[in-house]
Structure formats: C-alpha cells, structure tokens
A and B are shown apart, each in its own frame.
Chain A
Amino acid sequence: MTTRYPAFANEILDLFAEREAALTDIAIIQPADPFLDMAGEDLRRRIFLTESETGKSLCLRPEFTIPVCRDHIETRATTPRRYGYLGEVFRQRREGGAEFFQAGIEDLGAGDRAGADARSLADAHALLARVLPGRGLRVTLGDQAVFEAVLAALGLPRGWQERLARAFGSSEMLDAAIAECASPPAAARLPREIASLVARGDEAALSDRIQQDMEAAGLSATAGREPCEIARRLIEKAELRSVRLADSALDVLKSFLAIRAPLAEAGERLAAFAGEAGLFIDEAVENFNERISRIVEQDVPLSGISYSAHFGRPLDYYTGFIFEIGAEGMDQTLVGGGRYDRLLTLLGAEKPIPGVGFSVWLDRVSALKEQAE
C-alpha cells in the first residue's frame, strides 16, 4: 500500500484474508448511469461527472457496492462469493473532503440469509474492533421485512403496502404516506366515458379506450406506460377510494414504529407487540430471531446492539436487514450496511442473486484514531 492509504490499511487487508473476502480491484472511472439509476438524481450534483469522447456519461466512483455487483454480473462469477475492497471514493459532502477512503465486504449469492446477515455484521464489527481497539461501539439494527409483515398482517391494500414500504426509513416520507392513506384524495375528474368504464371495472374495454386516446395523442403505446397498466391502476385506485386507514390500524403502525429495544429483548418485544395488536407476523419474527441467534454464534456481543423498528433506508433495492455502527466520541456513523436482494436484478443479473454488505468510512476512523493519540 502506498502512503496515500490510511496507515491501518494493512490491518484491514489482513482481516479480509482471515475472513475469506477476496480483495477486488474496482476501476476509479465508472459509467455514471448505474449510480444515477439506482440512487436517483440527487446524486448527480454530488458526483464528479464527465463525458467520454463518444458522449457517454462517466464519473469517479462514488461508492463500491454498485461497481462490485456490476463486475460480478459481467464476469459471470460463481456464487457464493465474498468481495473485499479498500480505496478512495469521490463524492461532494457537506462535511469533510470530497475524496476519501472506504473499505467493506460485499457477500453475494449466499443462500443462508440469516447466516450471511450475521456474518456481515460480524465482519464490520471485527474490522472496527481491529482498527479502533478498546473503543466502545454501538450497533443499530433494523429490518424492513418485519415492517412489511406488519403491513401485510394489517390487511392493507397492496398499493398502500407498497407506498408505505417505500417510505420506510424516512420518517418524513412515512408520515406523509400514512396521512395520505388516512384521508385519500377526492375522486379525480375523469372524462365521462372513462369514468363509466372504471365504474364497471371493465379493464379490457378501458385499456382499449386508453389505447385509442394514446394513438390520437401521438403517444407510443409501448415506449412508456402502457394502456393496460393505466387501466389497471385506475381500477385499483377506484377501489381504494372508499377505503380509509382505520384509526386502530394507524395506532398499531405507530406503536410498531416506536419499538426500540436492546437486541437481546427485541424478539420478545416483537412477539408481545404482535400479540397485543392481534397480528400474525410469526414468520418475520422467526427470521428475525434466527438472525439474532446467528449473530450470537458469530461472537458479536449483543450488549452493544439495539433494534429500532423504524430504522431503514428509503432506497428501493434494500430489502430487509440493515445496520449501522457508531463509536463513542463521534456522532457520525462509521459503518453502514444491509441486505440488497433486489440490487443485482436491477443491475441486469439474469437470476436473482441475494446480497449483503457494508462499507466503512475510513476517514472517520482516521479522525477517531488521531483523537485517541
């Protein structure tokens, strides 16, 4: 490692080798589209964009997970496979420089999800324990799958379940989504003929009519949203119009989102919540408990871990387990990690490939080490 790298880089590489994560080399210059497609347009102003001679959008890698997954798909690597990385990322931030080091492990294709989740957390924990010996660590853990199970058990309409699940992890977005389900908007002003087809629930006729309108408007019926898609959603919306999110369901959602517990007690708390609310979420709770017992097997001390029911990331490729680790002496998070079972499919993998991983902010680790010296 050259002097650009943090002084403790070798300790991390040793840990990769011990924990069987092959060090992978990721190009610094990356196509920009996958990042903008996955993370959204918000990223555009924060990444370093340029263009190739042929007009292709390129950027300096703003993170590692997406390029690691893309390389995995491109090389048709066999799974399961564990990738370790350590290098600079380039991203404009409110605090700190725009060029900083990250390290992490991405674990792709492991079928035993609870085991892989636990190992990912253990990897991250071990990494921090090695580079910050003696420093107290606090782990926060969340699980979108439990939230989704609660939504399903409440018997909410599919459209609402999706909208609420999408907002999971952002309290602002979630509040707005809940408010909307509690008081759906008034009926839209539809042309008479359309309204009557909707009222009859005649999806096929509605779809035909929309197709005619599209043709008349010079819109391609295949390039974007299709007539059948619009027809189906129109009918779904009409069905929801008379439905309100009941106060009782709202209370259940609120009391779920307020759950915070040390991980050792989290399973019991969830079971007690389900019992009180009369919800059947046994499978999600079982998976949750299974993961806890695998975390114990990995020798991660449970005492420093807490579960927070509302903790998530509002990005559509995160699907379940997520975690972050902080350390005493710093407010900022040192590690962010989680399961992204949808990401590889979104990036073009032919078959679904489960994935879980984490990333460490090495610049923050450096700052803490300096503080200690």
Chain B
Amino acid sequence: MSVTLALPSKGRLKDKTIERLQGAGYPVRLPENDRSYRAAVDGIDGLEIAFLSASEIARELDRGTIDLGVTGEDLVRETIPDWERKVEIAARLGFGRANVVVAVPDVWFDVFTMADLDDVAAEFRQRHGRRLRIATKYGRLTQQFFSRKHGIQVYRIVESLGATEGAPAAGSADVIVDITSTGSTLKANHLRVLDDGVILRSQACLVMAKRERPDEEAKLIEDMAAALDGTSA
C-alpha cells in the first residue's frame, strides 16, 4: 500500500496543517535534513508525505501524481479544469479561511452590486475606447462568475501575478478579483468588495484525486478525512 499526501511546504498553512494532523493522530515526522521534501507519519505504514507549494499541490492532484493534498479550495477550483470530475474535497479543515471577491475602487459610489458593474462594463468601451479591465490571478473563477453567473461578457482579464490590489492605482486595471481574509489590504488600497461580489468562500481542504484504489488505501483516506474534518470543530 502506498498513499502520497502532499502538504504545503511553507508558511502558516504548513504549520497549521501539521498541527491539525498531529492533533488528529497523524504525527508527521519531519525530515532531519531541513532541505528534504519528504517525510513520513509515525505508526502509519504506506503513507508518504511530500512537501510542495499550495498551487503545485492543486496541479499534481489534477495530474494524478499524488493521492491526497492539503491546499486551498480556491486553488483547486482555479487550477483544475472541470475539477469535480478529477478530484473530491474529502474534508474541509476550518483554517486558511479567505474569500475570493470582486472589489472596485471605493470612489465608485455608484457601484455596489454586480448589476451595477454590468452597467459600467457595458458602456465602458464607448466612453474609454477599451473594455473594462479586471486584474486577477483567478482567470477561471472570474470568467465563471462574470459570464456564467451574471451574464457579463464584455470585460478583459489582465493576468496579475502579485500585488493585485495595487492594479487600479497603477492604472493597469479598473477592478480586481482577489483573495482576502480580513479585507484590510483592500481597505488600505481604497477598494471595496461588492455586496454580491463574493465568488468563493475558501478554506484549506484535504483533497483527493479520484481514481480506483485498493480497499486498504481507500480506508486509510476515509479515516484520515474523518479525523481531519474541521467543520464539526
């Protein structure tokens, strides 16, 4: 039996994950060599731990090179096309909570809803000779939310790889779609979340790649999911 579980390789997400695993009876024995990316869990044979970045974990789940991973729901939905066919959220862990939101400049006093934004987007081209620009690293979530849910077609996505909240002031975009936990970064940048602008309430999840497995592997995953589930806590 061999089940591979990928954990976030750094930061708060890593610490919280290891803490949760420990508390649930899965003590991760960290490698003595700090630079190693492999580890094991004491007392559980056949469970291999790999450390990867949270976005790599989503990609590897998509490829099926790992069985399990702890990563954000935002990354699962953004990175994996048709995600529900490929993976399953086995447990929501109750930490790493953050929302993917649509935010507009505070001074857009006339824009509080997606319907307002639809109006603005529709007349934007005529007034400014270009479409409304949305800075984001969540191209897929943005498109699904704008086009499919709200029927807004006419906008352009500007891919942003960091400091998305600075895009409106920098003049590279008009509005943003970004992840926020407390909203303080948005506020500091004079941005405001639309009333109906929450695209996703995300949190850290134990995610499983869907595939046929021997019974003992399926059992191990099931037990672990039940032990880690943070929604009842």
Assembled-state Cα–Cα distance A242/B144 (Å):
33
Q: Is the CB of B168 within 8 A of A219?
A: yes
Which of B3-11, B27-35, B61-69, B103-111 has 4 or more CB atoms under 8 Å from chain A?
B103-111
With a CB–CB cut-off of 8 A, which chain B residues contact A219?
Answer: 105, 107, 168-169, 190
| Cα distance A237–B120 in the bound complex, in angstroms | 12
Least distance between B36 CB and chain A CB atoms (Å):
38
Residues on B with C-beta less than 8 A from A191 are 109
Contact of A42 among B112, B113, B153, B171 (CB under 8 A): B153
Partner-contacting stretch, out of A133-141, A147-155, A161-169, A325-333: A161-169
Check if A159 sits within 8 Å of B119, measured CB to CB. Answer: yes
Q: Majority SS of interface residues in chain A? A: helix
Q: Please determine whether B169 and A217 come into contact, CB atoms closer than 8 angstroms.
A: yes
Q: Check A217 against B156 for contact (C-beta < 8 Å).
A: no
- Flag B35-63 by CB within 8 Å of A: 1 or 0 each: 00000000000000000000000000000
Chain A neighbourhood of B151, CB < 8 A:
167, 170, 172-173, 176, 314
Which residues on the B side are within 8 Å of A185 (C-beta)?
112-113, 115
Contact code string B207-228 (vs A, CB < 8 Å = 1, else 0): 0000000000000000000000
- Residue of B112, B127, B131, B153 near A188 (CB, 8 A) is B112
B175 → chain A, closest Cβ, in Å? 9
Does A229 lie at the interface of the complex (its beta carbon under 8 Å from any beta carbon of B)?
Answer: yes
Alpha-carbon distance A210/B122, docked complex (angstroms): 22
**Cα-based distance from A45 to B142 in the complex (angstroms):** 13
Q: Are A316 and B154 in contact, with the CB atoms below 8 A? A: yes
**Complex Cα–Cα for A328 and B124 (A):** 42
List B119-165 residues whose CB lies under 8 Å from chain A: 119-120, 122-125, 127-128, 130-131, 139, 142-143, 146-147, 151, 153-157
Minimum distance in angstroms from B140 CB to a CB of chain A: 8
Q: Which candidate, A32-40, A95-103, A108-116, A119-127, is the interface stretch facing chain B? A: A32-40
Contacts of A50 in B (CB 8 A): none
Q: Which of B110, B119, B120, B153 contacts A39 (CB 8 A)?
A: B153
In whole angstroms, what is the CA distance A56 to B155 when docked? 19
Known: A217-B107, A219-B105, A346-B125. A42 touches B169 (CB 8 A): no
Beta-carbon contact of A218 and B155 below 8 Å: no
B174 interface residue per 8 A CB criterion:
yes
Q: Binary interface profile of A, 213-238, with partner B (CB < 8 Å = 1, else 0)?
A: 11011111001110001100110010
B118 at the interface (CB under 8 A from A): yes
Contact A162 B119 (CB under 8 A): yes
Once bound together, how far apart are the Cα atoms of A314 and B118, in whole Å?
13
- Taken together as a complex, chains A and B put the C-alpha atoms of A31 and B5 apart, in Å, by 43
B110 pairs with A166, CB closer than 8 A? no
Does A44 interact with chain B (Cβ within 8 Å)? yes
Bound CA–CA A176/B168 (angstroms)? 29
Is the Cβ of B190 less than 8 Å from the Cβ of A41? no
- B227–chain A nearest beta-carbon distance, Å: 38
What is the minimal beta-carbon distance from A151 to any residue of chain B, in angstroms?
15
Q: In the assembled complex, which residues on chain B have CB atoms less than 8 Å from the CB atom of A163?
A: 115, 118-119, 122
User: Do B143 and A42 touch (CB < 8 A)?
Assistant: yes
| Residue in B108, B142, B155 whose CB lies within 8 Å of A225 | B108
Closest chain B residue, CB of each to CB of A234: B110
* With known contacts A217-B105, A218-B169, A41–B143 Cβ distance under 8 A: yes
Determine whether A282 belongs to the interface, using a CB cutoff of 8 Å to chain B: no
Additional A-B contacts beyond A162-B122, A166-B118 (16; CB < 8 A)? A37-B130, A40-B154, A41-B139, A41-B153, A45-B143, A162-B119, A173-B151, A176-B151, A213-B106, A217-B106, A217-B169, A219-B168, A224-B174, A230-B110, A314-B151, A316-B125
Write the residues of chain A forming the contact surface with B, with a CB cutoff of 8 angstroms.
36-37, 39-42, 44-45, 159, 162-163, 166-167, 170, 172-173, 176, 180, 185, 188, 190-191, 194, 210, 213-214, 216-220, 223-225, 229-230, 233-234, 237, 314-316, 346
A sample of 11 cross-chain residue pairs with beta-carbon separation below 8 angstroms, ordered by A number, consists of A37-B125, A40-B153, A166-B118, A185-B115, A210-B109, A213-B106, A217-B190, A219-B190, A220-B171, A224-B171, A230-B108
Interface residues of B (CB under 8 A from A): 105-110, 112-113, 115-116, 118-120, 122-125, 127-128, 130-131, 139, 142-143, 146-147, 151, 153-157, 168-169, 171, 174, 190
Closest 4 CB pairs of A and B: A40-B153, A217-B190, A173-B151, A233-B110
